[in-house]
Amino acid sequence: MKMKTWINIVILLILIAYSIFSLSPIILAVINSGKTQGEILTNILALPSNFQISNYVTAFEKIKFVRSFFNTLLVVVIGCGGIVFFSSIAGYKLARVKTKLSNFYYSLFVFSMLIPFHSIMISLVRIARVTSLQGSLVGLGIIYIGLGVPMAIFLYTGFIRSIPVELDEAARIDGCSDLRLFFSIIFPQLKPITVTIIITNALWMWNDFLLPLLMLPNSKNYTILLSTNMLFGQYGNNDWPAILSVLIMAMLPAVVFYMILQKSILKGISEGALKQ
């Protein structure tokens, strides 16, 4: 019995230690974002004597938070919308039609999941320039559709295979066309996998840095990460209170999103991964 309590305490200590490690950058950033430049130099661990809200007001303006936020959101909405719409109808036919052509299409999509982004990056930027998608938020969203459909098609096809075909057949006897059948009968049943696909893709696009960096040269179109990166470059690593308030603000949307949707996010990750 005594041995068991000891083990229990050790386990608890390990978990607490790791949790502190996990949270320390965020906590330190929050504490120090409210300090003055002078305070930060004297003691980093102490709480600010008087929390400088003004740091946040400046940060809010400096990274053009509202604009950057809606820029990022626009990209995510276009990307997710397109990925869900195009992948679900494609996945439906891939799951139902069993021909050589269908197998070919499926392998074509799945194969590309191994191609690293950096291997297509250079040509992709060129294509974006030729099609004048470069420099446009809508263009960036459209490109994300092209990059995101393979994974989504893979997940949708697997999911639809588990829906009984009898449903389709009954609807077809009632004279339902293919497209109507899909939208009125199949699509509503895809809700769980659709939620997973939206969450994983939204997180990917929201936190993606390199593609926006290459696609959006104009600061008017900057996403939150691009604005943050630009500001960091300006401040060097000197004005830490200012930088830290910017960082806290930049990560806030993702953290709030996590707090609200934690269950679906974690479920989506374990299911999405274990299906591969």
Which 206-265 positions form the footprint of another protein (CB under 8 A)?
Answer: 206-207, 209-210, 214, 225, 228-229, 232, 237, 240, 243-244, 247, 250-251, 254-255, 257-258, 262, 265
Of 26, 67, 54, 64, the closest CA to residue 242 belongs to: 54
Piece in contact with another protein (CB under 8 A), picked from 24-32, 52-60, 166-174, 185-193: 24-32
Q: How many residues comprise the chain?
A: 276
Residue from the set 47, 57, 167, 266 that interacts with another protein by CB under 8 A: 266
Chain positions 144 to 183 lying near another protein, rule: CB under 8 A, are: 145-147, 149-150, 153, 178, 182
Q: How far is the CB of 254 from another protein (least distance, A)?
A: 5
Q: Does 109 bind another protein (CB under 8 A)?
A: yes
Q: How far is the CB of 229 from another protein (least distance, A)?
A: 6
If you write DSSP's letter for every residue of 133-197 in order, what string do you get?
Answer: -TT-HHHHHHHHHHHHHHHHHHHHHHHHHTS-THHHHHHHHTT--HHHHIIIIIGGGGHHHHHHH
Chain positions 58 to 97 lying near another protein, rule: CB under 8 A, are: 82, 85-87, 89-90, 92-94, 97
Q: How far is the CB of 170 from another protein (least distance, A)?
A: 18
Residue from the set 9, 53, 127, 230 that interacts with another protein by CB under 8 A: 127
Residue from the set 9, 14, 57, 66 that interacts with another protein by CB under 8 A: 14
Task: Give every CB contact of residue 106 below 8 A, 6+ residues apart in sequence.
Answer: 94, 153, 157
Q: Does 6 bind another protein (CB under 8 A)?
A: no
Q: Which two tokens stand for residue 160?
A: 């639809």
Piece in contact with another protein (CB under 8 A), picked from 8-16, 57-65, 163-171, 185-193: 8-16
Dist. CA 230–CA 232, nearest whole Å: 5
Q: How far is the CB of 182 from another protein (least distance, A)?
A: 8
Task: Give every CB contact of residue 227 below 8 A, 6+ residues apart in sequence.
Answer: 63, 64, 65, 68, 219, 250
In three-state secondary structure terms, 73 is helix
**If you ran DSSP here, which 8-state letter would residue 132 be given?**
T
Computed on alpha carbons and rounded to an integer, the radius of gyration of the chain in Å comes to 24
**x/- contact string, 183-202, with another protein (CB under 8 A)?**
--------------------
**Identity of the residue, 4 or 191, whose beta carbon is nearer to another protein in the bound complex:** 4
